[in-house]
Amino acid sequence: MRTVHSILAAFVLIALAMVVFNAVMSLKRDEQFKNGDRKLGLIAFILSHTQFLIGLITYYVSPWYKTLKNVGMGKAMKDADVRLFTVEHPLIMILAIVLITIGWSKHKKATDDKAKYKKFIVFYGIAFVLILSRIPWSQWFH
């Protein structure tokens, strides 16, 4: 399960980067919002939510969760690795999913093409940066 979570994470990052880059470039070129732009945003939305569900399952069967249950929150917060895997990573990923969901919803409600691109840039962009900030890179390159 952890391998699937890691592989899918790479696809989520690529999709989010593509959405943000495409939105920045399209906004810069003053392009109309196209069906392909919507589909790209939807792919990132679906991948990130699928990743979130797999992450939840992975979290509850992980040794990190068992460690948290055994040592308690106080000791977990004093250990950087335990804190990253049991508190920081899950919390920031939930926040990123919320931002992606808001961005998707707000882009649909926007009536102007520039506003649609801006919603993707802001919400998907912040989510992308947050995800990058709390990926356990040591596990990926281990």
Would you state the pLDDT for residue 66?
A: 84
Domain that holds residue 113: 2-140
Q: What is this structure's pTM? A: 0.91
Over residues 108-113, mean pLDDT: 96
pLDDT digits over 61-85, tens only? 888 888 888 888 888 899 888 889 8
Would you state the pLDDT for residue 141?
A: 60
**Which string of DSSP letters, residue by residue, matches the chain?**
-HHHHHHHHHHHHHHHHHHHHHHHHHHHTTPPP-HHHHHHHHHHHHHHHHHHHHHHHHHHHSHHHHHHHHHHHHHHHHSHHHHIIIIIHHHHHHHHHHHHHHHHHHHHH--SHHHHHHHIIIIIHHHHHHHHHH--HHHHT-
Over residues 13-40, mean pLDDT: 98
Per cent of the chain over pLDDT 90 is: 70
- The count of structural domains within the chain is 1
